[in-house]
Amino acid sequence: MFISDCRREFYDVIVSQRVLLLVASDVDALCACKILQALFQCDHVQYTLVPVSGWQELETAFLEHKDQIKLLVKQDDDLGVPAYDDIFRDDEDEEEDSENESEGSEPSEKRRRFEEDIIERTMKRRQRREWEARRREILFDYEQYEYHGTSSAMVMFDLAWIMSKDLNDMLWWAIVGLTDQWIQDKITQMKYVTDIGILQRHVSRHNHRNEDEENSLSIDCMRIAFEYDLRLALYQHWSLYESLCNTSYTSASLKLWSVQGQKRLQEFLADMGLPLKQVKQKFNSMDMSLKENLREMIEESANKFGMKDLRVQTFSIHFGFKNKFSASDIVYATASLMENIEKEGPETTNFIKALDSLSRGNLDKLHQGLALAKKQLRAIQQTVASCICTNLVISQGPFLYCSLMEGTPDVKLFSKPVSLCLLSKYLLKSFVCSTKNKRCKLLPLIMAAPMDVEQGTVIMVGIPPETESSDKKNFFGRAFEKAADSTNSRTLHNHFDMSIIELKTEDRSKFLDALISLLS
């Protein structure tokens, strides 16, 4: 169901009912869920929370609760929805004009009327055919590409704001949702900057209290601040050196998988005047004198080494004396918690843990997430380095292909969709920097990793090519479907993101061949 007025058609309807929340396994969805939960708590709305990771689970949950469901609203990131009227024409009266009963009028009149009728009917038929053709075109365009619209957390925050129930906490979750989209490369830079601008206005509104003598706020109160921060993953909770090595942007630009790359890193650090010993220490223990103008210094040196976008507009949260986190930190931590391969209990514990870590009171979970995130980033960089050094990325014609072997270290981490997507994007970025083949730089990438050894399945992900002005539209969803159909491969298109599928290892080669011929 498509809704235009969030408040009237959605919230006011559900606020008096018992609600079933089906939430996807995505940091953005988690943030939107937190905002909704906060709203529900304020208004005493009873709700049940069910995490779903794909269409099948959505269906099962729906069928389970079928008897009580009256209204289903799906939170979808894939917007770009064409106008309602273009697709669904309310049942038009297709009734043929009933034959005018001849009431004994003159034959010529009757004949005229008859002719008019025919003309009218043909006109209608032609219109309808044109409309159908247009509809098919629109649907084809709509379903061909997959891309993401506004973050659902931001949409929920908007809803809260319209009802004047927005809080600083909810604003923070909206920020994390948006940052998640940016980190996973789901939105264009333009969209990101625009949305940051929107959120910036809210941030100033909530956090404008100046620290004057009269009304200083308790240090425990949460504050959000806008930052033009470094694009280095988790750098404030790690050492600067580790962060430089494990962030895809710096690693790819400096080509850190090669020996020359390592040398360039040393040159880069020397250029900034940062001694190696300092830089390898935990960031918080670095000398204050070095940290003072760190951002400007790094930016200057980075420009010399070809890294023009080392700084990015983002927000950070601050509460208590030692808790300062940047939005991207939270995204990495939550995503790692959600896809933690160590199973501790029933299926949904990881989801619940990740959801909990978004609340400020659960700092221990957040720190656990940060530790897992560091492991994940390291694993990703090592895998990327080995793939590039051993030339595992091969061009298949219309796309690049890379497959992770079973014995690869940390390969289990990449049996999860979000981690695999992150790996693929970093790999593509690094590959584009490493190859000299101009044509290969513009190709999309398909990445495969073993998913379940016992069942012999492989998880496959397709990502669009890495270009400056990429609009981030992904056509692999349809392509995968078509290829699977034409080869009768046993595939599972379960994920909400259609460009992620699971298939049986035996069917892999014929599936790929079909894809190649499809996309050539």
Contact footprint for another protein (CB under 8 A): 41-44, 165, 167, 214-221
Q: Which is nearer to another protein, 68 or 216 (CB)?
A: 216
* DSSP designation for 490: -
- Least CB distance from residue 218 to another protein, whole Å? 4
- β-strands 47-52, 394-395 pairing: unpaired
CA distance 376 to 369: 10
Q: Which is nearer to another protein, 321 or 520 (CB)?
A: 321
Q: Which is nearer to another protein, 107 or 361 (CB)?
A: 361
Q: How much of the chain is in helix, strand and coil states, percent to nearest 5? A: 55, 10, 35
CA distance 81 to 87: 10
- Least CB distance from residue 159 to another protein, whole Å? 15
When computed from its CA atoms, the radius of gyration of the chain, rounded to whole angstroms, is 27
Residue with tokens 């973050």: 151
Task: Using alpha carbons, select from 340, 368, 126, 327 the residue that is nearest to residue 234.
Answer: 327
- Least CB distance from residue 44 to another protein, whole Å? 8
Q: Which is nearer to another protein, 220 or 364 (CB)?
A: 220
Q: Which is nearer to another protein, 31 or 39 (CB)?
A: 39
DSSP string for residues in 336-355: HHHT-SS--SSTTHHHHHHH
Helix ranges (DSSP H) in 74-188: 84-87, 107-144, 152-162, 168-183
CA distance 31 to 335: 11
- Least CB distance from residue 234 to another protein, whole Å? 29
Q: Which is nearer to another protein, 193 or 217 (CB)?
A: 217
- Least CB distance from residue 219 to another protein, whole Å? 6
- Least CB distance from residue 165 to another protein, whole Å? 6
Q: Which is nearer to another protein, 218 or 520 (CB)?
A: 218
Q: Which is nearer to another protein, 38 or 479 (CB)?
A: 38
- Least CB distance from residue 211 to another protein, whole Å? 11
Strands, DSSP E only, in 280-381?
Answer: 311-319, 323-326
Q: Which is nearer to another protein, 55 or 161 (CB)?
A: 161
CA distance 483 to 475: 13
- Least CB distance from residue 321 to another protein, whole Å? 10
Q: Name the token pair of 160.
A: 């809260």
Phi, psi for 228 (deg, rounded to 5): -100, 80
CA distance 384 to 429: 10
Residues facing 229 on adjacent strands = 312
- Least CB distance from residue 220 to another protein, whole Å? 6
How far is the CA of 505 from the CAs of 75, 151, 236, 460, 489, in angstroms? 32, 34, 41, 11, 10
Residues in the chain: 520
CA distance 111 to 383: 80
